Structure 1
Amino acid sequence: MTLPKSYERTEADQSVEVTMTVNGSEVSLSLPARVTLSDALRDHLGLTGTHVGCEHGICGMCTVLVDGEAARACLLFAIQLDGAEITTVEGLGRQDDLHPLQESFGRHHGLQCGFCTPGFLMSSYDLLTHEPDVRREDLPAELSGVLCRCTGYRNIIDAVDEVAQAHRDGLPGPGNCGRRTLVGRGTSGSSGSSPAEAEPAARPEETARPEEITLPEGDPTVRIDVTSQLGSAPEDVARVFGDIRLLARCLPGAELTDDLGEAWYRGRARVALGPVRLTFNGIAHVLEQSGERIVMRAQGKDTGGGGAQAGIVMSAVPAEGGTVLEARADVFLTGRIAGFGRSLAGDVSRRMFEDFARALDRAAAGEEAGPESRPPGAFSLLFAALLERVRARFGRRRRGVPRS
């Protein structure tokens, strides 16, 4: 595989446009020439199922299909693949309709710790597609290009052999390749999508205001449902609901930077999770706003290629002694921040909403947010979430409840 002549003199940090089809969706990216396919998939498109291990092409964790053939994503530059068709483990099957290989791995306990699983699934798919008559005794050698450190080879061999025996006449193709919305630096869509549908996911802080914010299909990374009791009267909460700038200041690390008119806003949010420091620049659209209810959608990206999109609904319900704030959100994360896992990301997000409720209560009472009253940063939220988990597990052990 060679580079186009126009790329031969490209500097390492110079961005190059590349278009490829990933899991059935055409995706356009602007990337530095040295970005590998694995990094483009993980950090720019949010497809973190492609794992990165040795980054030397030895361990096989990053195996994907390029034009139907198995390839090491860590050994390919993304710009080499202009016009190529890429299939990752996310394209193999859906949660409600798994591929036979995925079902068999689960049935035979071939998952182990899970780190090698995507590589084994994609390598096994490539093997059974090209050699449907492979014999069981040949599988250890055929699959030796993917390394497992959990000594789980026997179960993996059982899983692959079962699928091979059941599909001698042909292995079913990937079942999750079709129109998908990808969050990240690239634009995505199917052959029937319009540029207006794709553009919001590209570079929201550098483009004109989009027609709408379209959330990804499928389950969100985090689903939040928080109810908080506020001491402020409903009319005072309604005053904060009616002031978007004041409302934004109640969210930890958030800042409104521009009013684009017609209920569109630009802003940024800063998050620090230990050594990972992220600044999301993005855009928000308020779809409904009254003294009792706010509905909005937002999306943004950080400089490292991670992305976030959210659909948020907040309601202020009069209650005895004050107001009940109900907040619901579907949050889609990609890139580094998504690597913290759904459960932990959910804990952090819920705590941020709880702190948001306390800050909103203070704002409704007329207090000006200052350094001493600002909600705690994301690192303390993460620490609190971890501490809560430790306490919960310790409590279960003391009560004799088995660990999950």
Structure 2
Amino acid sequence: MGSPFKDHHRHHPSLAKKLIPWTFYAMIPLVLFRVYFYPFALHHTTTPILSSSSFVSPPPSLLEEETSCDFTSGKWVPDKRGPLYNGSTCGTIKEGQNCIAHGRPDRGYLYWRWKPKQCKLPRFEPNTFLQLLRNKHLAFVGDSMARNQLESLLCMLSSVSAPNLVYRDGGENKFRRWHFGSHNFSISVYWSPFLVKGVEKSNTGPNHNQLYLDHVDERWAADMNGIDMVVLSIGHWFLHPAVYYEGEQVLGCHYCPGLNHTEIGFYDVLRKAIKTTLKALIDRKRANGNGIGAFVTTFSPAHFEGDWDKFGACPKTKPYREGEKTLEGMDAEMRQIEVEEVEAAKMNSIQLDRFRLEALDVTKLSLMRADGHPGPYMHPFPFANGVTERVQNDCVHWCLPGPIDTWNEILLEVIKKWEYESRREE
């Protein structure tokens, strides 16, 4: 299956004659100073945009802090400024994540910032992001976490420039595209919960997913040549019952009672799916010569305390303190697989020109934000008629605005680093 998108003052001459030699001699020490301390700034020239695959060079002021940073280690600290947007300032938030509009009474979860131990994570700069991606196409590909992160980014960018929805696939909104006319920048979301080819379970068919681990999902991969940057995000759908295929043969299954298949779990399957996806990116970019920047957003932990439909399933109203919550078990394993496969793919693509790949490692900082989920406020005013013992909760996705905005702050910092590195290589 292919892509779903069809788609003056004058000076006295004698005075000037006297001043020119003195001006020349006065400039010599300034030039020598500049050459000695800032050699890069003198030989660099801004490169005009020639195609959608070449980055526009932003002003140097946008790239002042270029040192690498470990964003995974840090703590959440109070921030009185709060988010860049609210639940009513952008029209792209999925209703289930619009916690403010749905009546969540507390607002404390909005006033925290992630503070890395060894460096600073700047507040998100919408204008900088748009300038860095001028004339580009950014795609978010994956499951509902990809959509959650996309909508967060759209809302932050909407604070300075209004996006125009130019494509949608109907009522389900699984494939959408927006265009920022101010910067000729497009941003899309592609629903692909496994990244590889998959058939999702349905009410009329088998009660399990079917994954073909050696085939990338062409619903998004068919558009790869038109994508300049891609953010991949998967994980939670691999917990569902599924049968796995490789080379058209059944490899095994996960939780498939009644079927004569070997239970193999989902960890190795997740690894194979990421490996197939990243190999497809590398192979296709090597074949056509186009560059691409790719991210893999690491696993985002859930925070259910007890049953998903019980009152108080995710009751926290403040972040965990540093050291209070340990990254372990499935959360740690899922993240480790994703990070390892990104590092392996980076080694396999080391000779590939203009190919950038990074793990957007948000697992630990997200683990500490059990207060940032919709919980019962995935529905409007769930306690309007009083508190009930049983109520549906969402302790997986993130309120908008909320902690997930930090993911995009880190995303911007990595893009800035890439651009700085590109400028140095010129």
Q: Would the TM-score normalized by the shorter structure come out above 0.5?
A: no
| More contact order relative to length (CA 8 Å, sep ≥ 6) | 2
What TM-score do the two structures reach when normalised by structure 2? 0.21
Q: Which structure shows the bigger proportion of residues in strand conformation? A: 1
TM-score by length of 1: 0.22
